[in-house]
Amino acid sequence: MDTPPTNGFRGVHPIGWTLGLLLLLSVGLTVTGSRFLLGNLSWWHWALMVAGIAVATQPPILHGIRVAIEAITKFTGSVAWKLAWLVFFVQLFNVVTRYTNNWFERDILFGQTTSLAWMSFGMLFLLGVNYGVQAGVNPRIDFWWAEFSDKKKAWIDYVFHVVLLLPFILMGIRLLIGYAGISLGRKRDGSWPEGWAVWNTWEQSGDADQLPVGPIKAFILVGFCLWGLQIIAEVIKTGFVMMGRNDLGEIEVADAPLRVE
């Protein structure tokens, strides 16, 4: 069986070359005593970069990682579609009870269901953003983008994902870890309240008789993690196309009208 072309990458996925450059930069900054984050990495950062370079030489392993990530994405996407129906019916209930307040305690019911509606909508977005990336619904100028070759599209997506989007997501995750803990009741000194009734420590809404907002605010961290995983899957896929391994890149031809968004 003929070996698929690799087009100058010598069988190493572009992730390997990217991590190699990052590793060299980190070594240089560490030696010079830089105060930047890349000059003050923990041991597991180094281990992760070395492991990533090693895995980049094994296309079947990278392909398996991408398939596993996209299985998670498809599951969260299906949950997001169900949440869309939940938002619709909860808001419909709000409309009905608004005009039948003689039979309902309007102030209490309306406040709680409104909270449930916006929390469900927030959960829908947080669970669906990674599915949107996987389905390719992100805005593009299609009449311009459609003229590019598959390899050129892959180069553009790879560079922008690695240089701009992944650093932004990693920064967001780093900031949201503390934010999520405080939303779920963790104290400023890093300790957690005693007792098993953890819901009593969740952050509460300032509105009267509303639902706790701690869980949905903490779920922002989960949404960013899911988003980051799917971006990694896209980087793996576009990297295979850059290597000439379209069999692993699994390019899908989008049958959609040209549009400008």
**Using CA atoms, how far apart are residues 124 and 129, in angstroms rounded to an integer?**
8
- What residues pair up with 260 in beta bridges, in sequence order? 141
CA distance linking residue 9 with residue 142, whole number of Å: 29
Taking CA 139 as the corner, what is the angle to CA 255 and CA 117, rounded to the nearest 5 degrees?
105
DSSP state letter for 163: I
pLDDT in 10s for each residue of the chain, 261 residues: 444 555 556 689 999 999 999 999 999 999 998 888 888 889 999 999 999 999 999 999 999 999 999 999 999 999 999 999 999 998 888 777 777 666 655 555 667 777 888 888 999 999 999 998 988 876 666 667 777 888 998 999 999 999 999 999 999 999 999 888 888 888 777 787 776 667 777 877 766 566 788 888 899 999 999 999 999 999 999 999 998 888 887 766 555 444 544
Q: Is 114 helix (H, G, I), strand (E, B) or coil?
A: helix
Phi, psi values for residue 212, rounded to 5°: -60, 140
Q: Which of 86, 77, 160, 159 is nearest to 117 (CA)?
A: 86
Tokens representing 36 are 């930047």
pTM of the model: 0.85
